[in-house]
């Protein structure tokens, strides 16, 4: 049992943390946690996400073992993405981030307005 430490720059956990702290990762795992989805279905649900970045993100998630990719030999081909147990263990915490954002956005916006007003007053 090694002592992993995300505060060390060269620790592998740092790379992992870098991956899971990604806007698209959070949103995608949030969707996949509720059930398998197809490529274009994911693309449609996450507004602002390009096909290229979705492709990259899914590939990374698959490589990290957070998402499973299953291709069906239909014509045209059908691909289904699903969350793995490893990814499921993480999705709860990620969903909490979305919930926090949606619950506290008004406080954040208020804080920003106050901050900007103070800065403007100083200058």
Q: Which residues bind DNA (CB under 7 A)?
A: 22, 24, 38-41, 48-53, 55-56, 58-59, 69, 76-81
Which residues would be at the binding site for its own copies (CB under 8 A)? 4-10, 12-14, 16-18, 20-23, 25-27, 45-48, 62-66, 86, 89-90, 93-94, 96-98, 100-102, 104-105, 107-112, 114-116
| Residue 88 contact among its own copies, DNA, none, beta carbon within 5 to 8 Å by kind | none
Cα 61 to its chain centre, rounded Å, is 9
DSSP letter string, the chain: -----TTSTTSHHHHHHHHHS-HHHHHHHHHHTTS-EEHHHHHHHSTT--HHHHHHHHHHHHHTTSEEEEEE--SS-EEEEEE-HHHHHHHHHHHHHHHHHHHHHHHHHHHHHHHHHHHHHH-
Cβ at position 70, least distance to its own copies in Å = 14
| Residue 122 contact among its own copies, DNA, none, beta carbon within 5 to 8 Å by kind | none
| Residue 64 contact among its own copies, DNA, none, beta carbon within 5 to 8 Å by kind | its own copies
72 vs 106, beta carbon nearer its own copies: 106
Q: How far apart are CA 67 and CA 84, in angstroms?
A: 5
Cβ at position 67, least distance to its own copies in Å = 10
Measured distance between the N- and C-terminal CA atoms of the chain, rounded to whole angstroms: 54
51 vs 89, beta carbon nearer DNA: 51
């Amino acid at each position: 049992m090694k002592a992993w430490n995300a505060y060390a720059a060269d620790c592998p956990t740092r790379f992992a943390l870098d991956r899971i702290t990604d806007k698209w990762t959070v949103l995608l795992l949030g969707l996949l946690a509720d059930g398998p989805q197809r490529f274009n279905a994911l693309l449609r649900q996450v507004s602002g996400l390009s096909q290229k970045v979705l492709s990259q993100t899914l590939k990374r998630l698959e490589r990290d073992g957070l998402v499973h990719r299953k291709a069906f030999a239909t014509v045209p081909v059908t691909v289904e993405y699903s969350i793995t147990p490893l990814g499921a263990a993480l999705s709860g915490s990620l969903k909490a981030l979305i919930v926090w954002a949606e619950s506290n956005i008004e406080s954040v916006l208020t804080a920003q307005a106050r901050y900007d007003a103070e800065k403007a007053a100083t200058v």
